[in-house]
Chain A
Amino acid sequence: MEQTTYLGFIPLLPLAGALVLGVMHVATCQGNRIAEKLYGILGCIGPVLSFILALKLFFSLKGLPAPDRFLTHEPFTWFSVGDLTVPMGFLADPLSSLMLLFVTFVGSLIHVYSIGYMAGDKNFGKFFAYLNLFLGSMLILVLGNSPLVMFVGWEGVGLCSYLLISFYSEERENVVAGNKAFIVNRIGDLGFVLGMAFLFWGIGADGFDYLSLKANAHNLTPALGITVCLLLFVGATGKSAQIPLYVWLPDAMAGPTPVSALIHAATMVTAGVYMVARFSFLYIEVPVAGTVVAWIGILTALLAAVFGMFQNDIKKILAYSTVSQLGYMFAGVGVAAYSAGIFHVFTHAFFKALLFLGAGSVILALHHQQNIWKMGGLKKKLPITYGTVLVGSLALAGCPPFAGFFSKDEILFSALATGHTGIWFIGVIVAGMTAYYTFRMFFVVFHGTPRDRHSYDHAQESPRVMTIPLIVLAIGAGFAGFLNFPAIFGGHQQVSHWLAPSLAEHHPDAGLGVEFLAIGGSVLAFVIGISIAYRKFFGGAEEPVYRGFCKFAANKFYVDELYATIIVRPYRFIGKAIRQMIEPYITDAPAQGVPWLYRMTGWVFKVVQVGYVRVYAIYMVIGLSIMSLLISQSLNL
């Protein structure tokens, strides 16, 4: 076995960074402050080193023959209960190594970008500490060798998302958004925990790490299998913002923009897709569960795309596009095209990070203006941002040959090839809608005439520490798709082959006709979407007044209000009833009575302490007499 200690260092480095930065921040937040540059450099060291280690890992895996491509490392025993021993173990296989590569790469770029974006913030150090913690948790999630270790990271990213979404905690709204994200995620987590418990109950006795589980997966009864798969998927809908738990993600825009980028691109939301792919050996056994996943995914994609078409906030548009793209990913893993789903996660990381960071650049230039109807004509003022966002938009919209095209096409092709025609059809429609809302945003922001002259005049291009990550990501968004160049164009599908040892996947065999149909549909949808957007918005347009269905969609079908009415309010009512009725009279009353009794007895004893020697002597004599009496009984003469 090869020396694998460095596996542990991949998550450890950002976590150590978080600790150092946190201590530094706490120690200095009252008095003299540490220079931002120092925080920035320290904050970036961990992620960058982790990226280097991830590269080393990738190449050492590549050096192994395909079936043996996994490395494990167990630094210590986490806990042991009875016969069950759970080590804090790490597993590196092709799947986790691919995830590691782009998580650390995109994460590092976001860290660098944040140095510019967060400049001047009074909690600069805290921000980087949280960011490092976030990345470290995500790396634990990806590297964990068992569902339990994954759960550590799973909870870690949940916590960090809460901390970072409510980062500007002076405003109540942001804190509420953080709470919402946390609570909704907890609901999903419950599903995950239950799923784990059932899985353990079923086949956990012979080891609860992935390799043992994979070997025993066929022993799972069908009923248990479908329960486990669906419960795990509930966890995934929480983390990855799918119906019905998607509501937190748009609100999560309350956090600083680099956080949005990190949540949407490298960490957090991809966790759900990764988890389903990780458990592909279970899902492949239960095709019904896969179908549910696929349908939920594609419906989420549709719903989010409808919402996305009517949003006015640049970050909200991007948020719904993320929800929509995540829907595609689930559709992919649902139809058992795991490598396609993961490949879409991979390309999405590049172009979504790029779009968010680009949006951040625009927002910063306009002094925290996020309404697209207050922008316009920024092409001249922000040339680098313009160019890079254009690449990102084309990738998101699925324009060939940008990254998004290949991965999305792969998913749609798989859906069609496995006979899920409905999913394919909705997917194509969503592709058109995606192209429409992406370029609606793009044209309104960068083309036409400035709508707000004052902020337009003051706008200027962001510093290089921000634009360089943009350019790097734009290169990725432009060319990452070629890594999985489909066979139809003479490619080798490197990513799919790389992932193959980790996933339980059957590649569907379909004729050229199916493949052409899939590609043709996607391209057609893209062209229609972009041309409508071009006609309506390229020359400049005013903020529309929504009526009818549009108003309904702009208000997100009132889903938040619906949830508030049917879940939150009754829940609050029950809580209030318990607090006002049950707690004071039924549970607290006896608890209050005990100390009262205790105190009263104490007073009685105080009275007995009269202070007269003769009384004390009498106590002694009484005690003596009673004991004499008793001992005389036990004499044995």
Chain B
Amino acid sequence: MQDLMAILPLVATGAGAILLMLAAAFESFRKEGISIMGIGLFAFAFFVQLAVANSGSFAPYSGVLNGMLATSTFTKVAGLIILACGFFSAIAAQAYFTQNKGFVLEFYCLMLFAACGMLLLTMAAELITLFIALEIMSLAIYALVGYDRKSVRRSEAVLKYLMLGAFAGAFYIMGTVFIYAGAKSTSFRVITDVIATTGFLSNPPLVGGAFLILFAFLFKAAAFPFHAWVVDVYDGAPLPVTGFMATAVKTAVFAVLANFLMISSDLQAAWVDYLFYIAVFTMFAGNLIAIAQNNLKRMLAASGIVHSGYLIIALVAIQAKTFTGGAMLFYLAAYALATLGIFAALSYLAGEEERRVSFDDFKGLARVRPYSAACISIFLLSMAGIPPTAGFMGKFYIIASAFQAGHVSLAILGIVSSILSMWYYLRLIVLMYFREPEDRFEVAEMTLAPLGTIILAICVFAISFYPVVL
């Protein structure tokens, strides 16, 4: 029974996706009905995950599945974040498609499949399972980015993502092969034992394999120097999909990265120096790309790179005795709230066919739509890490974890990077509040997305004042 409970969220999302696919075949379910069903299924899966959240860490169906899956509080909270991201992205999508063409009935179905893949990814304790989960997620995301085949930009984006993703996927498979050569197994548990007996750095196949696998993850996480695709792909994807990718995918990837690095402290120790430089370069490259952007989506994509940099700081600081997964998840939750909020707001403010996407398009928004402008400002301030918001607490935990692990220079560079990031976050706030409006900002009537935006804005403060750290 406990085993069933542990995989119930997986079942809920998977079955929900199939249910949606079947429903799409019926004439009586059209756009609105499907949207509401999609949102409802995400909410349902979220509560299922919440209901099973209090059951320690163990491997479900270890006899049947041979330890392919492992759950812990860490994976469950990551699952909660992923499903919440799905829920709010679905709300944003509902608003987006009242103003934009190109809706297909399978849209929410694909989102659920992607979420299912992400949940599996967080639980995977074996390299082949991990690969399957990665592909379930990636294929669904590819389809979400490029389902509108008539649009050249979407096609371009999906092509870039697919090709580079395949590139990274190939490295992953290669890494798996090496590891199998080195450890004669693909199970995390066995790899742990092998490293414990033979040592890590004296086992070249293991080193090479782990290296290639990490490489693939860093690609998915958009870390320097594998970050270049992010800006183009995020820009080409529809707004709600961008939001979903930026938050849910990132959560899943960092969860699995943390799991992978936790295989062995020797493995993590061998990687710390590299992760250190990757974190620094990722933060600064992201900042430098972001300041030159005039398009909001591109700026947010680039800022996503910076946030990946912060999360890698937590990976550097990760240690068996002081597991920084809590700080990482809190940061991910805070980042997800702000990003989803901005994308939800943009989904309805962008208007028909994503008309308003550049910085200048939002001049004087505060005069015309003060509440939307206030919410966006809250999200931006949270991303920038200004005190009463969740983003500040997130950065605080991460930087504190770096201090505790003895990486003082990394902590200081993180703070410097956070100051640099003010440039582009405050730029939008300045434009919204201190310029005269040129636009009337008329958008179609809707209730869900603005409501979702306000809920997210409240959450930004709520989780800052009641931080639940693992």
Whether A636 contacts B285 in the complex (CB less than 8 A), given A609-B231, A624-B215, comes out as: no
Please tell me if A619 contacts chain B, counting CB pairs below 8 Å: yes
Tell me whether B288 and A613 are in contact (CB under 8 A): no
Tell me whether B207 and A635 are in contact (CB under 8 A): yes
Tell me whether B274 and A637 are in contact (CB under 8 A): no
B-chain residues with CB within 8 Å of residue A595 when the two chains form the complex: 423
Please tell me if A622 contacts chain B, counting CB pairs below 8 Å: yes
Please tell me if A602 contacts chain B, counting CB pairs below 8 Å: yes
Question: Which residues between 578 and 612 of chain A lie within 8 Å of chain B, taking CB atoms?
Answer: 595, 598-599, 601-606, 608-609, 611
Tell me whether B288 and A602 are in contact (CB under 8 A): yes
Contact pattern, B 118-133, Cβ under 8 Å of A = 1, otherwise 0: 0000000000000000
Tell me whether B288 and A601 are in contact (CB under 8 A): yes
Of B167, B204, B289, B290, the residue contacting A620 (CB under 8 A) is: B167
Please tell me if B413 contacts chain A, counting CB pairs below 8 Å: no
Tell me whether A631 and B207 are in contact (CB under 8 A): yes
Tell me whether A616 and B229 are in contact (CB under 8 A): yes
Whether A617 contacts B164 in the complex (CB less than 8 A), given A606-B289, A636-B201, comes out as: yes
Q: Measured between alpha carbons, how far is A598 from B424 in the docked complex, in Å?
A: 12
Please tell me if B30 contacts chain A, counting CB pairs below 8 Å: no
Please tell me if B265 contacts chain A, counting CB pairs below 8 Å: no
Q: Measured between alpha carbons, how far is A634 from B231 in the docked complex, in Å?
A: 34
Please tell me if A628 contacts chain B, counting CB pairs below 8 Å: yes
Tell me whether A623 and B226 are in contact (CB under 8 A): yes
Please tell me if B159 contacts chain A, counting CB pairs below 8 Å: yes
Q: Measured between alpha carbons, how far is A617 from B219 in the docked complex, in Å?
A: 11
Q: Measured between alpha carbons, how far is A84 from B354 in the docked complex, in Å?
A: 61
Contact pattern, B 221-258, Cβ under 8 Å of A = 1, otherwise 0: 00011101101100000000000000000000000000
B-chain residues with CB within 8 Å of residue A637 when the two chains form the complex: 202, 204
Tell me whether A616 and B228 are in contact (CB under 8 A): yes
Q: Measured between alpha carbons, how far is A636 from B202 in the docked complex, in Å?
A: 5
Of A605, A615, A628, A636, the residue contacting B292 (CB under 8 A) is: A605
Question: Which residue of chain B has its CB nearest to the CB of A624?
Answer: B215
Tell me whether B274 and A627 are in contact (CB under 8 A): yes
Question: Which residue of chain B has its CB nearest to the CB of A623?
Answer: B225
Tell me whether B288 and A630 are in contact (CB under 8 A): no
Q: Measured between alpha carbons, how far is A287 from B179 in the docked complex, in Å?
A: 90
Q: Measured between alpha carbons, how far is A604 from B292 in the docked complex, in Å?
A: 9
Please tell me if B8 contacts chain A, counting CB pairs below 8 Å: no
Contact pattern, B 288-319, Cβ under 8 Å of A = 1, otherwise 0: 11111100000000000000000000000000
Q: Measured between alpha carbons, how far is A619 from B168 in the docked complex, in Å?
A: 13
**Nearest Cβ distance between residue A637 and chain B, in whole angstroms?**
6
Q: Measured between alpha carbons, how far is A624 from B231 in the docked complex, in Å?
A: 20
Q: How many A-B residue pairs have CB under 8 A?
A: 77
A-chain residues with CB within 8 Å of residue B207 when the two chains form the complex: 631, 635
Tell me whether A619 and B211 are in contact (CB under 8 A): no
Please tell me if B270 contacts chain A, counting CB pairs below 8 Å: yes
**Nearest Cβ distance between residue A87 and chain B, in whole angstroms?**
28
Contact pattern, B 28-63, Cβ under 8 Å of A = 1, otherwise 0: 000000000000000000000000000000000000
B-chain residues with CB within 8 Å of residue A628 when the two chains form the complex: 211
Tell me whether A616 and B160 are in contact (CB under 8 A): yes
**Nearest Cβ distance between residue B218 and chain A, in whole angstroms?**
9
Q: Measured between alpha carbons, how far is A619 from B289 in the docked complex, in Å?
A: 15
**Nearest Cβ distance between residue A156 and chain B, in whole angstroms?**
28
Q: Measured between alpha carbons, how far is A232 from B293 in the docked complex, in Å?
A: 59
Tell me whether B291 and A598 are in contact (CB under 8 A): yes
Of B215, B225, B289, the residue contacting A622 (CB under 8 A) is: B225
Count of chain A residues near B, Cβ 8 A: 29
Q: Measured between alpha carbons, how far is A99 from B292 in the docked complex, in Å?
A: 65
B-chain residues with CB within 8 Å of residue A622 when the two chains form the complex: 225
Tell me whether B167 and A617 are in contact (CB under 8 A): yes
A-chain residues with CB within 8 Å of residue B201 when the two chains form the complex: 634-636
Please tell me if B163 contacts chain A, counting CB pairs below 8 Å: yes
A-chain residues with CB within 8 Å of residue B204 when the two chains form the complex: 635, 637
**Nearest Cβ distance between residue B310 and chain A, in whole angstroms?**
19
Tell me whether A615 and B202 are in contact (CB under 8 A): no
From DSSP, what is the main secondary structure of chain A's interface residues?
A: helix
Count of chain B residues near A, Cβ 8 A: 34
Please tell me if B420 contacts chain A, counting CB pairs below 8 Å: yes
Of B159, B228, B290, the residue contacting A619 (CB under 8 A) is: B228
**Nearest Cβ distance between residue B142 and chain A, in whole angstroms?**
14
Tell me whether B164 and A620 are in contact (CB under 8 A): yes
B-chain residues with CB within 8 Å of residue A636 when the two chains form the complex: 199, 201-202
Q: Measured between alpha carbons, how far is A553 from B214 in the docked complex, in Å?
A: 89
A-chain residues with CB within 8 Å of residue B423 when the two chains form the complex: 595, 598
Of A598, A605, A615, A616, the residue contacting B285 (CB under 8 A) is: A605
Tell me whether B211 and A627 are in contact (CB under 8 A): yes
Tell me whether B228 and A631 are in contact (CB under 8 A): no
**Nearest Cβ distance between residue A604 and chain B, in whole angstroms?**
8
**Nearest Cβ distance between residue B103 and chain A, in whole angstroms?**
28
Tell me whether A619 and B288 are in contact (CB under 8 A): no
Tell me whether A606 and B202 are in contact (CB under 8 A): no
Question: Taking each of A604, A613, A635, A637, which has the highest tally of chain B beta carbons within 10 Å of its own beta carbon?
Answer: A613
B-chain residues with CB within 8 Å of residue A620 when the two chains form the complex: 164, 167-168, 219, 225-226
Question: Which residue of chain A has its CB nearest to the CB of B231?
Answer: A609
A-chain residues with CB within 8 Å of residue B211 when the two chains form the complex: 627-628, 631
Q: Measured between alpha carbons, how far is A622 from B289 in the docked complex, in Å?
A: 19
**Nearest Cβ distance between residue A616 and chain B, in whole angstroms?**
4
**Nearest Cβ distance between residue A255 and chain B, in whole angstroms?**
36
Tell me whether A611 and B232 are in contact (CB under 8 A): yes
Q: Measured between alpha carbons, how far is A601 from B291 in the docked complex, in Å?
A: 9
A-chain residues with CB within 8 Å of residue B199 when the two chains form the complex: 636
Question: Which residues between 265 and 298 of chain B lie within 8 Å of chain A, taking CB atoms?
Answer: 270, 274, 285, 287-293
A-chain residues with CB within 8 Å of residue B164 when the two chains form the complex: 613, 616-617, 620
Tell me whether B167 and A602 are in contact (CB under 8 A): no
Question: Which residue of chain A has its CB nearest to the CB of B294?
Answer: A606
Q: Measured between alpha carbons, how far is A599 from B290 in the docked complex, in Å?
A: 10
Question: Which residue of chain A has its CB nearest to the CB of B214?
Answer: A627
Q: Measured between alpha carbons, how far is A426 from B434 in the docked complex, in Å?
A: 64
A-chain residues with CB within 8 Å of residue B225 when the two chains form the complex: 619-620, 622-623
B-chain residues with CB within 8 Å of residue A599 when the two chains form the complex: 291-292
**Nearest Cβ distance between residue B153 and chain A, in whole angstroms?**
11
Question: Which residue of chain A has its CB nearest to the CB of B201?
Answer: A636
Question: Which residue of chain A has its CB nearest to the CB of B163?
Answer: A613
**Nearest Cβ distance between residue B346 and chain A, in whole angstroms?**
21
B-chain residues with CB within 8 Å of residue A635 when the two chains form the complex: 201-202, 204, 207
Question: Taking each of B159, B228, B232, which has the highest tally of chain A beta carbons within 10 Å of its own beta carbon?
Answer: B228
Question: Which residues between 344 and 389 of chain A lie within 8 Å of chain B, taking CB atoms?
Answer: none
Whether A602 contacts B291 in the complex (CB less than 8 A), given A620-B164, A628-B211, comes out as: yes
A-chain residues with CB within 8 Å of residue B291 when the two chains form the complex: 598-599, 602
B-chain residues with CB within 8 Å of residue A617 when the two chains form the complex: 163-164, 167
Contact pattern, B 364-387, Cβ under 8 Å of A = 1, otherwise 0: 000000000000000000000000
Q: Measured between alpha carbons, how far is A611 from B153 in the docked complex, in Å?
A: 12
Question: Which residue of chain B has its CB nearest to the CB of A626?
Answer: B225
Q: Measured between alpha carbons, how far is A616 from B292 in the docked complex, in Å?
A: 19
Q: Measured between alpha carbons, how far is A598 from B419 in the docked complex, in Å?
A: 12
**Nearest Cβ distance between residue B91 and chain A, in whole angstroms?**
31
**Nearest Cβ distance between residue A395 and chain B, in whole angstroms?**
57
Tell me whether A602 and B270 are in contact (CB under 8 A): no
Question: Which residues between 394 and 434 of chain B lie within 8 Å of chain A, taking CB atoms?
Answer: 420, 423
Whether A609 contacts B228 in the complex (CB less than 8 A), given A599-B291, A620-B219, A635-B204, comes out as: yes
Extra contacts besides A619-B228, A631-B274 (19): CB < 8 Å: A595-B423, A598-B288, A598-B291, A599-B291, A601-B288, A605-B285, A605-B292, A606-B289, A616-B160, A616-B228, A619-B226, A620-B168, A623-B226, A624-B215, A627-B215, A631-B270, A634-B201, A637-B202, A637-B204
Interface pairs (24), CB distance under 8 Å: A598-B288, A598-B291, A598-B420, A602-B292, A603-B292, A605-B288, A605-B289, A606-B293, A609-B228, A609-B231, A613-B229, A616-B229, A617-B167, A620-B225, A623-B224, A624-B171, A624-B215, A627-B274, A630-B274, A631-B211, A631-B270, A635-B202, A636-B202, A637-B204
Nearest first, the 7 closest Cβ-Cβ pairs linking A and B are A623-B225, A606-B292, A602-B291, A602-B292, A616-B228, A605-B288, A636-B201
